[in-house]
Amino acid sequence: MNMFLIDEETIKQKVKELAQKISKDYENSDNLVVIGVLKGAFIFLADLVRELKIPCKVDFIKVSSYGQSTQSSGIVRIELDTSIDIANSDVLIVEDILDTGLTLKYIKELILSRNPRSLKIAVLLDKVERRKIDISADYVGFVVPDKFLVGYGLDFSENYRNIPYIKELET
């Protein structure tokens, strides 16, 4: 059986490509705030912002979704909120993976309620076929199959985040 895998070099190239697009789209912005969704996005965010050719501020938000490790319940609680005032800023939310969409929809609405000048979403991975609600990202690294993936920030019960590539969880 073939295990799904995205290797380091492929990720690196993709992150560069996304950063180029983002740098171009925001070249006239003087107030870009990149908000990483903890914990999963920490590596993607760190690599992405270092490839940006424009200035930005960095902030984080951490939410937890009730329920067990591989399933999102849609009931979301804020564990750590942002600290930068984003009113009149161009906000880019950075997330590891868009799955059912419930988590990002919640975060998107929360950020929108704080009146940013604009709001876009960047995700490294998009599990399109798992979507439960109508939400899409403005920047997508890879559309991935419905398999549980770990590495490059993604975890299973807090393990595997430090694997430098992305792979299917072996069961």
Binding site for ligand IMP (CB under 6 A): 40, 65, 72, 95-104, 148-150, 154
- Please write down the HEC assignment for all residues of 96-128: EEECCCHHHHHHHHHHHCCCCCEEEEEEEEECH
* Contact partner at residue 89 from ligand IMP, Mg ion, none, CB < 5 to 8 Å by partner kind: none
Point out the residues that are catalytic: 99
98 binds, among Mg ion, ligand IMP, none (CB under 5 to 8 A by kind): ligand IMP
Which tokens in the block code for residue 152? 């490059």
Nearest approach in angstroms of CB 113 to Mg ion is 23
Kindly tell me which of 116 and 151 has the beta carbon lying closer to Mg ion.
151
Between CA 66 and CA 41 the distance in angstroms is 19
Least distance from ligand IMP to the Cβ atom of residue 29, Å: 25
**Closest separation in Å from C-beta 95 to ligand IMP:** 6
Cβ contacts of 6 within 8 Å, gap of 6 or more: 142, 144, 152, 165, 166, 167
Which among 9, 3, 11, 4 has a CA at the least distance from the CA of 152? 11
Q: Are 150 and 163 in contact (CB under 8 A)?
A: yes
Q: Which is nearer to ligand IMP, 26 or 150 (CB)?
A: 150
Using CB under 5 A as the binding rule, the residues of this chain from 40 to 79 that contact Mg ion are 40
Nearer to ligand IMP, 71 or 115 (CB): 71
Other residues' Cβ atoms within 10 Å of the Cβ of residue 76:
18
Query: Which residues of this chain interact with Mg ion, rule CB under 5 A?
Result: 40
